[in-house]
Amino acid sequence: MRSKPQAAQSARAPLSLLTRLRVILFGHEDLASVIFWAALVGIAGALASVAFRLGVRLCVRLFSGYWPHSEHGSGLVAVALRLPWWHRLLMPAVGGVLAGAVLLFLRRRLVSSKAVDYIEAVKVGDGRIGFSGSILKSLGSMLTISSGGSIGREGSMVQLAAMLGSRIGLLARAPVPRLRLMVACGVAAGIAAAYNAPISGALFASEIVLGSMAMESFGPLVISSVISNATMHRVVHFGKIFDVPHVAAITNWELILFVLLGVMLGHLAPPFLALLDFAKAKFIRLKLPLYGQLALGGVAVGIISVFIPQVWGNGYSVVSHILLGQVFGWALLAILLAKVLATASTVGSGGVGGVLTPSLFIGAAVGTLFGGVLQGMMPHIVTQPVAYGVIGMGGFLAATTQAPLTSILMIFEMTLDYNVVLPLMLTCVTAHYTAKVYRHGKSVYQATLDHAMAAEDGDDWRLHTVQALVKPAAVVVPRETPLSGVFGQLSRRTVRRVYVTEGGELIAWFRPREVLLRLRKGEVGWDVPVGDIAQPVNETLSPDMSLTEALDGFLRENVRTLPVTPGQWRHMMLGEVSRDDVLLAIRDRLTITK
C-alpha cells in the first residue's frame, strides 16, 4: 500500500498529452471547453468558406475560360462582359443542368434521417446535419452560382460551416442542446466569413437560427464569429466585399426622409418574397425533372444577361458601382428590374444559394433611385443620394429577414461609418414593422421552417426527454477502490461527482473536492475504500423521464449533475445529465413552440 506522500505525488503526476486533450475536448460542461469548440468551429467554418470560394472560381474558369478575378475586372459580371452573347445565353442553362443532376442524385440516393438545412437541424431537429447531403447541396449551389445564376454564395458557405459545426459537436459527444449550439456557431462563422461582419454573424445566428439572445449561447456564437473573421481576413487575406463611400453627417430634417425610405422598402420586400414563391410554384407545376427545371431557369437568366449582363452572380461588383455613384438613373432601374427577374428565375427553378446578397443588391438599387429622385426634388436638402443606397441595403434586408438588429449591425460593420447609424436604425426598424404587416410577419426563412415542421410533424418526441442529453459519467469506480487510486487517475479539470458501483450497479457517489479536503486534514487515509466515505444515491433520472421531471430532480437535490439509470433505484449506470443541458433543452422547446 502506498504512503500518503506517494499517493499525493501520484495524484499530482503530470498527465499525458492524450489525456490532457481528452480532458479539454470532451468536458463540454466547462466554459473553457465550450470556448475551445466554438473557436474550432470558427476556424473550420472559415476554411470551408475559403474552399467554396475557390471552388466557385475554378468552376467559373471551366465554364467561361476566364478567371473571375483578373486585371479585366472582378466577379462574374466582369466575366459576362467579356463573353459573346451566345455564351452568356447558354452558360447558365448548362450550369443548371449540371446542378440539377447533382441535386436530383441527392434526392434519390441519399435518403437520410439527418437534416440537410441548418435551420431545420436547430429548430426541429437534434442538431445533426448530413455530411454527404451538405456536400452535394453545396456542389449544386457552386455549379449554379459559377454558371451565372442570380443567387448569393453565402447560403452554401453558411451551410458548410453549420455542417462542420454539427460534425465537431458529434466528435465532442455533445448532448442535443450543445449540438444545436455548435450548429449555430457554424452559422455565425459562415456569415462572418461571407460578409466580414463578425458581430452581425453572431446576431444572425441568435435572431434567426436559435431565436434567443441568452448569454449562455451568444458568447460561443461571438467566439466562432470572431475567429472565423480573423481567419478569413487576417490569415487567408480576403478583403472587403463592397466599396462603400463615406457618408456625410445627416441633418435632423433629412432623417424624416429615411423613415419614408423604410416605409417604401417595407412595402416592396413582401412582393419580392411573394414573387419568389410564385416562381417556385410555377416551375413545380411544369412537372419537369429537376435538371430540366434548373436548365429552364438558367435559360431565363441567360436571355436576360444577353441584354443586361449585370444580373450574373451575387452582384458584389455591381453593388459597389451603385454605391460609388457609377450607375444611376434609367440604367440603374433597368438593372434592378432585371436582377429581380433573374433572381426569381434562379430561386424559383430550384437553385440553391442565399438570398441575403440579392436583398442587399435590391436595397442598394432602390435606395439610390429613391435618393436620386429626392435630390431632384429637394437639391438643397438631399446632397448625397448614394447614402440612401447604403441605408437601403439594411432596410430591405431587415424587411426580408425580419431581423432588424442583424441588418443594422451588418451594414455598420461593412461601412464602419458612424454617420450611417441613426438613419440606418430608423430605416431598418421602419421597414421591419411595415413588412411585418404582410405575410403574417413571416420572413424569407419561414418556408424552410414550415417544411421542416411538416416533415417532423411539428417536433421530435425524443427531444422532450432526457434521453438525448445523456453523456458518459466522468469517473466511475468500484466500491473497494482506495482513495489513492481514485485521485491518482483524476484529471486536473473539475470533476463534480465520482460514482461508486458494486457488481456493476450504482450504489453511491461523492464530491472529490470535499474528500480531498478531508484527506488534507488527515480525517481519512489514502488507503480507505471509496465505499466507506461515499454517500448513497437519493435521486436518479431515467432516459424516458421528461425534461420538467428531470428539472424537479435537480431542484430537490440542488446539484448540477445527476446519474441516469434504467430505473429509479440501484440499476446499471447509463451515464449522467447536466442541469445546464436540461435548462437549454427546455429553452429550446419554449423557443420553438412560442
- Residue at 6 is within a domain: no
- Which of helix, strand or coil describes residue 129? strand
Helices 356-377 + 316-323 axis angle, to 10: 20
Q: What is the pLDDT of residue 208?
A: 81
Domain boundary at 455, 489, 523, which? Answer: 455
Report the domain count for the chain: 3
- pLDDT given at position 455: 47
DSSP state of 208: I
Question: Which region among 242-256, 263-277, 346-360, 441-455 has the lowest average model confidence (pLDDT)?
Answer: 441-455
- Bin 150: left if φ > 0, else alpha if -120 < ψ < 50, else beta: beta
Cβ atoms within 10 A of the Cβ of 326, count? Answer: 12
Confidence label for 388 from pLDDT (cuts 50, 70 and 90):
very high
Q: Is residue 34 part of a domain?
A: yes
Residue type, 428: C
Is 568 a domain residue? yes
CATH number at residue 257: 1.10.3080.10
Give residue-wise pLDDT tens across range 422-469. 999 999 999 999 988 886 666 666 655 555 544 444 444 445 677 777
pLDDT in tens, 532-570: 888 888 888 887 787 777 888 888 878 888 888 876 545
Of 428, 455, 482, which closes a domain?
A: 455
> In which residue are the cell numbers 441588418 written?
407
20 pLDDT above the threshold of 80: no
Check whether 524 has a pLDDT greater than 60: yes
| pLDDT at res. 1 | 40
At residue 109, the pLDDT reads 64
CA angle at 553 for the pair 548 and 556, rounded to the nearest 5°? 125
Task: For the chain, give the percent of residues with pLDDT over 90.
Answer: 28
Q: Is the pLDDT of residue 587 over 70?
A: no
For residue 509, what is the domain's CATH number?
A: 3.10.580.10
The answer to pTM > 0.85 is: no
The answer on pLDDT for 253 being more than 60 is yes
Tell which of 392, 426, 455 closes a domain. 455
Q: Place 76 in a pLDDT band, splitting at 50, 70 and 90.
A: confident
Closest-CA residue to 430 (of 199, 562, 269) = 269
- Which residues touch 139 (CB under 8 Å, ≥6 apart)? 102
Could you tell me the residue range of the domain that residue 486 belongs to? 463-593
